Amino acid sequence: MTNTSYRAPASMVRQTAEDAQELKPRSEVPAAELMREIGAVLRMSEAEAAQLGEIPADPDEDQTMIINMGPQHPSTHGVLRLMLELQGETVLRCKPIIGYLHTGMEKTGEQLTYFQGGTNVTRMDYLSPFFNELAFSLATEELLGIADDIPERAVWIRMLLSELNRMSSHLLFLATNGMDLGAVSMMIYGWREREEVLRFFQKVTGLRMNHNFVRPGGVAADLPPGWRDDVLRLLDLIPPRLEEYDTLMTGQPIWRERLQGVGVITPTEAMALGATGPVLRSTGISWDIRRGMPYMRYADVDFDVIVGSYGDAFDRYAIRLNEVRESMRIVRQVLDRMPPGDYRIQDKKVTPPPRARIDESMEALIHHFKLFTEGFKVPEGEIYIAVESPRGELGCYISSDGSARPYRIHVRAPSFANIQCLPHMMRGGLVADAVAIISSVDPVLGDVDR
Amino acid sequence: MSDAEDIERADAGPDELYGCPMAQRRGQVVIHPTRDTYIDTVKALADDGYTMCVDVTAVDYLAFGGRSLPAGVQAERFEVVVNLLDIEAGRRIRLRVQVPGEEPTLPTLFDVHPGTEAMEREAYDMFGIVFSGHPDLTRILMPEDWEGYPLRKDYEIGTIPVQFKGAHS
């Protein structure tokens, strides 16, 4: 299947087009698709749609216009392209067009061993890399049958990093959400606090992002000396800053005016669309995988699942802000309970030997060489493991044929499902609200397109 | 529970669930409806609490035909994998539907779970599986005029030869 010489397929050379994926004039769109684009979620089969005759009394085509928002728009968080049908400033239809950041990571994942896979998945949702690695590692460990043998310390390190990562991701959300709505100084504050968290990641993993630190079998290295003081410093630093955000945004009339009642979605609709994470919780459904189907040691720590009640952009903002606080609560408990011991499983088939052993032991050298060249073989089977990422359910589906490479690796991306709520949330709102809505869904395009 | 026990139980004979062969591995319930019973099974599951469809994806088993399946399931080239979630009870179920390579079609889940619209488009885009009844079956990640289905196993991957410094080429 691999060829050594590279020749670009003709289709890679010429210009490509989205054509049929784009938003078309109403006269060319079948009823069911139209209903989808105007954001109708329930009762959407074509027969039913026709029966209801419920295509709303929208103005004629000559009074509306279809415009592109993105893929280069600064508030589309990357390369999300929305096609909007507008009447004046009111959004009538919306269609997200994605794929501009598609790099075939699932295909790449089939070429990499389980040992190398972490470097690939960590780049998908680049704002919460630990969660990608975690889902991938948990799935691999389940397939290997070593899931119950992971050392306690490794599990708690994973939880520590997950929650800190949730904080950094939500802090970035607060920054971009502020920026999108004109609270530009918030952008600086949010990035500033996030940077503090990333600095800790850099100390632990060596990198600010794309860590490849959580690996099948445990984590790549033990926490560095002084990590506890660093975390405590973070926990002292961030709460007063969150108070400042409350002053700057939460209680501020302009902020509330811009977010309350904007981009409303009901619980039934959110569930029908497969939305998860803060988008689902904003509607009042308290679904959090950490609570509902606990993985790692989340059953042993105290935290609240933050829910909203109106399903609007303000709820989604408030949920994320308060989830930062909940994450800090979990981090404090992790600090108290961090057990001593190994940070990775002592299974020679999965874990490379320590550097020092390689000089002394021929076997260690062989294991090292085999692991880094061939990787380890994973028994046949298929598995789906989901974790609660800052954006919702991040799942990893792996089908193994018994070799050292996943036969198929699929990542269930929370952003991919969540942006499908956009047509629904946008309908009837203003273009200015569109920016607020995109921002409130907090999509990461690396995650959407993979 | 050890892995060996789990596999043993799966080998002990397939149970049935919703009239479909069922296998339970590593605590995850997997059922294998046929293409004909697929939609009805999902509807029955939705009535029983599996109200969210979190994921629809596919696998091309072209190079791995000999995978283990419960008795009574005819292995085909493609498999569409659907993950359903019951948030009331906190449980999951996975459906694996066999789809033949000669005629890769499957009815759409759109009417039951509207959120599958984009996921089915992705499966179509990557594997060429046609979901009949889908309102807008276009490519989603690749450009519309792309040739081929990238995640199929017979889709060639391009490689760039590695250049070693100082080596004679």
For residue A240, pLDDT over 50 is answered with: yes
Per the prediction, chain A carries an average pLDDT of: 85
Structural domain spans, chain A: 17-97, 105-345+377-449
Enumerate the residues of chain B whose CB falls inside 8 A of the CB of residue A147: 26
- Could you tell me if the ipTM is greater than 0.95? no
* Residue A241 main-chain phi, psi, to 5 deg: -65, -35
Considering only residues A278 and B168, tell me which one the structure prediction assigns the higher pLDDT.
Answer: A278
- Whether residue A4 has pLDDT greater than 70: no
Contact status, residue A158 vs residue A215, Cβ threshold 8 Å:
no
Quote the pLDDT of residue A281. Answer: 92
Is the separation of the CB atoms in A316 and A440 below 8 Å? yes
**What is the edge-to-edge ordering of all strands in the sheet holding B28-31?**
B15-17, B20-25, B28-31, B91-99, B78-86, B52-60
- Across the range B74-79, mean pLDDT stands at 88
Helix (H) or strand (E) holding A90: strand A90-97
Domains within chain B, CATH numbers bracketed: 3-132 (3.30.460.80)
Asked if A110 contacts A401 with a C-beta cutoff of 8 angstroms, the reply is: no
| B107 pLDDT higher than 70 | yes
Q: Do B145 and A381 touch (CB under 8 A)?
A: no
Lookup: tokens for A361: 């032991």
DSSP category for residue A147: G
On whether any CB of chain B is under 8 Å from the CB of A164, the answer is: no
A32 membership: H or E segment, kind and range = helix A31-37
Quote the pLDDT of residue A352. 84
- Give me the residue from A7, A36, A410 closest to B117, CB to CB: A36
**Residue (of B122, B48, B140) closest to B80 by Cα position:** B122
Q: Is A295 on the interface with B (CB under 8 A)?
A: no
Residue A425 makes CB contacts below 8 A (sequence gap 6+) with A39, A263, A264, A265, A437, A441
Compute the distance between CA of residue A270 and CA of residue B169 in angstroms, rounded to an integer. 57
CB A388 within 8 Å of CB A132: no
Q: How far is A154 from chain B (nearest CA, A)?
A: 21
- Contact by Cβ (8 Å): A135, A411: yes
The pLDDT of A219-245, averaged and rounded, is 91
B151 vs A21, A98, A106: nearest CB: A106
Look at residue B5 in the predicted model and tell me its pLDDT.
44
Give Dmax over CA atoms of chain A in angstroms. 80
Band (pLDDT 50/70/90 cuts) for residue B8 is: very low
Mean pLDDT is lowest, of A32-41, A101-110, A387-396, B36-45, for A32-41
Determine phi and psi for B38, rounding to 5 degrees: -55, -55
Q: Are strands B91-99 and B28-31 parallel, antiparallel or unpaired?
A: parallel
Chain A closest-CA separation from residue B100 CA (Å): 18
pLDDT band at A92 (very low <50, low <70, confident <90, very high): confident
Dihedral, CA of residue B150, residue B152, residue B156 and residue B162, to nearest 10: 80
Q: Can you tell me which residue has the tokens 């409303």?
A: A264
**Tens digits of per-residue pLDDT, A15-48?**
667 777 788 777 777 777 777 777 666 544 455 4
What pLDDT shows up at residue A41?
Answer: 63
- Say what the pLDDT of residue B1 is: 40
- The verdict on a CB contact (< 8 Å) between B64 and A401 is yes
Q: What is the pLDDT of residue B6?
A: 46
Instruction: Judge whether A281 and A306 are in contact, CB under 8 Å.
Output: yes
pLDDT for A136 beyond 50: yes
pLDDT in tens, A67-81: 888 777 766 677 888
Structure tokens at B1: 């529970």
Q: Is the pLDDT of residue B138 over 50?
A: yes
Residue written as token pair 């292995």: B75
Query: What is the distance between the terminal CA atoms of chain A, rounded to a whole angstrom?
Result: 22
A195 or A58: which leads in pLDDT: A195
Between A31 and A242, the higher pLDDT residue: A242
Per-residue pLDDT reduced to its tens digit, A351-372: 888 888 888 888 888 888 888 8
Calculate mean pLDDT across residues A277-300: 90
Between B168 and A290, whose confidence is greater? Answer: A290
Alpha-carbon span A65 to A85, nearest angstrom: 5
Tell me the one-letter amino acid at A133: E
pLDDT at residue B88 in the model: 87
Give A12's pLDDT tier (boundaries 50, 70, 90). low
Statement: residue A158 has pLDDT above 90: yes
d(CA B104, CA B113): 21
pTM for this one? 0.88
Report the C-alpha gap between A413 and B87 in whole angstroms. 18
- Return d(Cα B157, Cα B151) in angstroms, integer: 10
Asked if the C-beta of B64 comes within 8 angstroms of chain A's C-beta atoms, the answer is yes
C-alpha distances in Å from residue B76, one per residue of A398, B61, B79, B123:
18, 8, 7, 16
Question: For residue A52, is pLDDT > 70?
Answer: no
Nearest Cβ partner for B51 among A2, A271, A292: A271
The tokens for A58 are 């929208």
CATH of region A105-345+377-449: 1.10.645.10
Distance CA A437, CA A318 (A): 14
Work out whether the CA dihedral A101, A120, B145, A6 comes out positive or negative: positive
Read off the pLDDT of residues A225-236 as tens digits, 9 standing for 90 and up.
999 999 999 999
